[in-house]
Chain A
């Protein structure tokens, strides 16, 4: 106690510290912050309820209207197919990109380069208009005879073009996400699998992928959610997904705000469901991490 002149000795023989009550530290500014945020939130909610411009009766009328529900279904359909096909192709592209063969690796790299370079909306319009470019598609020997051929326009419907565009676009991003997950797995894991003589494909499926999933999942969930909202760009192809449908309706009745809210609330609900799903899937893949 000699060096700290202003301090008195904290304990003496006949003074038992363990008997004293403990007073937690106070944080008054935190309460100021809470009050500030609560006032703002109250104002916002008050505005939502009292401002007639939000037009809640119209919102209620359309929120579960058949046309909107159908459009929600279309949005989900596009998201599911975009995700499943996108990630399936993405895994293939990632494997190519990581291949020891310089040629295959270059193919993977080029795919990612190309589809990340072209804006999604441009790509969608391109697929939508593919039949201007190639009227007929055929199967046959390259530069030789054809066996079967199709009218492009009958083979690739607007919906098909939308799914194709979303999936090809998604695959480029999915490939990089998968690759980032795979390279995050410790090298020793592959060595152990190799030393045990586990076949190559099984190494990937049983050892590498489950561990890579830990870092793939948060990024993949981001991608799925962003694709889910990103499906609204296919409204440029006049496909009746959620955003296109509300535009059609407010174009007719001019209730812009109420209908945008219909779309917004649906997007929020479905994104929330995806986030909850993400939580459980991540928990599954974290099972070796539990104590």
Chain B
């Protein structure tokens, strides 16, 4: 479903991704772990072309993201075409990024029919908050609306960039519940998170990143309980 191949990304002289390759199968839930600054978020943002890669490429369902191959060259797509591709890739931000001047329902209706928008709001259990503005919602509720909004374009995959990191501890659970439901319903997901418990329970595969590369990957019990790599062990000993 998602194919990331040999992706490099630099900000100025700082190389954040140094050759990352990753395959995600349809319906698979991949959790990306790693210390801050390891390139997890950047990797996620290259997948929906919020960041342009310097080398390597990304395909979703076989379709090249951000470029078109023609006559032995990669031609950059026009912004309009990239925006269209992004409808296939849901993205949930760490700090929600709901549109503050629109109600919960209007936020979703910005990208979906009104009846659809209501359906997605129902799916995250917030249909009674349809006419509330983001400021009137708790952080957990805002993130659930943001998830509903990301689902509203009916994407093929959904990317979560530390979806619970900006939340008070007692609000993390309600957001993870929504993620759990999505995982169970067969949604293809890539989740960057620090919630190890959640990763163990929900992930089909855990990818551990450090210093711009994937250090190791595998099923949760392998990576979390019997990590092969020293860096993984060091990280886990700090967070577990």
Binary flags per residue of B11-38, CB closer than 8 Å to A gives 1, else 0: 0000000000000000000000000000
Known contacts A189-B97, A288-B133; is-contact A198 B110 (Cβ 8 Å)? yes
Contact assessment for A198 and B99 in the assembled complex, using a CB-CB cutoff below 8 Å = no
Q: Which of B102, B133, B135, B153 contacts A196 (CB 8 A)?
A: B153
Q: Does A136 make an interface contact (CB < 8 A)?
A: no
User: Which B50-65 residues have C-beta < 8 A from chain A?
Assistant: 50
Do A196 and B149 touch (CB < 8 A)?
A: yes
B-contact 0/1 string along A191-220, CB 8 Å cutoff: 111111111100000110011000000000
State the interface size on chain B (CB cutoff 8 A). 28
B95 within 8 Å of A (CB atoms): yes
Kindly state the separation between the CA atoms of A291 and B100 in the bound complex, as whole angstroms: 12
A109 within 8 A of B: no
Residues of chain B contacted by A191 (CB below 8 angstroms): 50, 93, 97
Assembled-state Cα–Cα distance A199/B79 (Å): 9
- Taken together as a complex, chains A and B put the C-alpha atoms of A207 and B86 apart, in Å, by 17
Minimum CB–CB distance from A197 to chain B (whole Å) comes to: 4
Q: How far is the CB of B202 from chain A (nearest CB, A)?
A: 23
Most B CB contacts (10 A, CB to CB) among A186, A194, A206, A288 go to A288
Q: A206-B110, A290-B133 are in contact. Are A195 and B99 (CB under 8 A)?
A: no
Which residue on B lies nearest to A200, using beta carbons? B79
CA gap between A211 and B134 in the complex, in Å: 14
Instruction: Give 1 or 0 for each of A206-237: 1 = CB within 8 Å of chain B CB.
Output: 11001100000000000000000000000000
B83/A199 in contact, CB under 8 A: yes
Are B133 and A287 closer than 8 Å at their CB atoms?
yes
Chain B contacts with A in 113-135, Cβ cutoff 8 A: 133-135
B48 within 8 Å of A (CB atoms): yes
Given the known inter-chain contacts A196-B111, A197-B153, A198-B111, please indicate yes or no for A288 contacting B100, CB distance below 8 A: yes
Determine the distance from Cα of A193 to Cα of B100 in the docked complex, in whole angstroms: 13
The reply to whether the CB of A119 lies closer than 8 angstroms to some CB of chain B is no
Tell me the count of chain A residues lying within 8 A, CB to CB, of chain B.
23
A285 surroundings in chain B (CB, below 8 A): 101
**Distance A200 CA – B86 CA, assembled complex (angstroms):** 13
Bound-state CA distance A207–B98 (Å) is 10
Cβ-defined contact, A192 with B97, below 8 A: yes
Flag if B50 contacts A197 (CB, 8 Å).
Answer: no
CB-CB < 8 A to B99: which residues of A? 189, 192-193, 207, 211
| Cβ-closest chain B residue relative to A285 | B101
User: In the complex, what residue of chain A is closest to B101 when comparing beta carbons?
Assistant: A288
How many angstroms between the C-alpha atoms of A194 and B84 in the bound complex?
10
A288–B135 CA distance with the chains assembled, in angstroms: 7
Known A-B contacts A189-B99, A207-B99; A197 and B83 likewise in contact (beta carbons under 8 Å): yes
Tell me if B200 is interfacial: C-beta within 8 Å of chain A: no
Complex CA gap A86/B71 in Å reads 48
Contact with A along B79-97 (1 / 0, CB 8 A): 1100111110101010101
Query: In the complex, are the beta carbons of B111 and A197 less than 8 A apart?
Result: yes
Q: Does B222 contact A (CB under 8 A)?
A: no
CA distance A210 to B102 in the complex (A): 10
Name the residue on B nearest A206 (C-beta): B110
Chain B residue contacts of A197, Cβ below 8 A: 83-87, 111, 153
Q: Do A188 and B79 touch across chains, with their CB atoms under 8 A apart?
A: no
From A197, A285, A287, name the one whose CB has the most chain B CB atoms within 10 angstroms: A197
- B138 beta carbon closer than 8 Å to chain A: no
Find out whether the CB atom of A188 lies under 8 angstroms from the CB atom of B83: no
Chain A residues within an 8 Å CB radius of B91: 195-196
Q: How far is the CA of A23 from the CA of B15 in the complex (A)?
A: 67
Pair A188/B100 contact, Cβ less than 8 Å: no
Smallest Cβ distance from A185 to chain B, in angstroms? 10
- Evaluate contact between B86 and A195: CB separation under 8 angstroms: yes
Q: How many Å from the CB of A81 to the closest CB on chain B?
A: 29
**Cβ contacts A to B, 24 pairs, < 8 Å:** A188-B97, A192-B98, A193-B99, A195-B48, A195-B50, A195-B86, A195-B93, A196-B86, A196-B91, A196-B110, A196-B111, A197-B85, A197-B111, A198-B83, A198-B111, A199-B83, A200-B83, A207-B99, A211-B100, A211-B101, A288-B102, A289-B100, A291-B135, A291-B136
Q: Which residues of B contact A (CB under 8 A)?
A: 48, 50, 79-80, 83-87, 89, 91, 93, 95, 97-102, 110-111, 133-136, 149-150, 153
* A contact set with B: CB distance below 8 Å: 186, 188-189, 191-200, 206-207, 210-211, 285, 287-291
Supply 16 further A-B pairs (C-beta < 8 A) apart from A195-B150, A199-B80. A189-B99, A191-B93, A192-B93, A192-B99, A193-B99, A194-B50, A194-B83, A195-B93, A196-B86, A196-B91, A196-B111, A196-B149, A197-B85, A198-B111, A207-B99, A211-B99
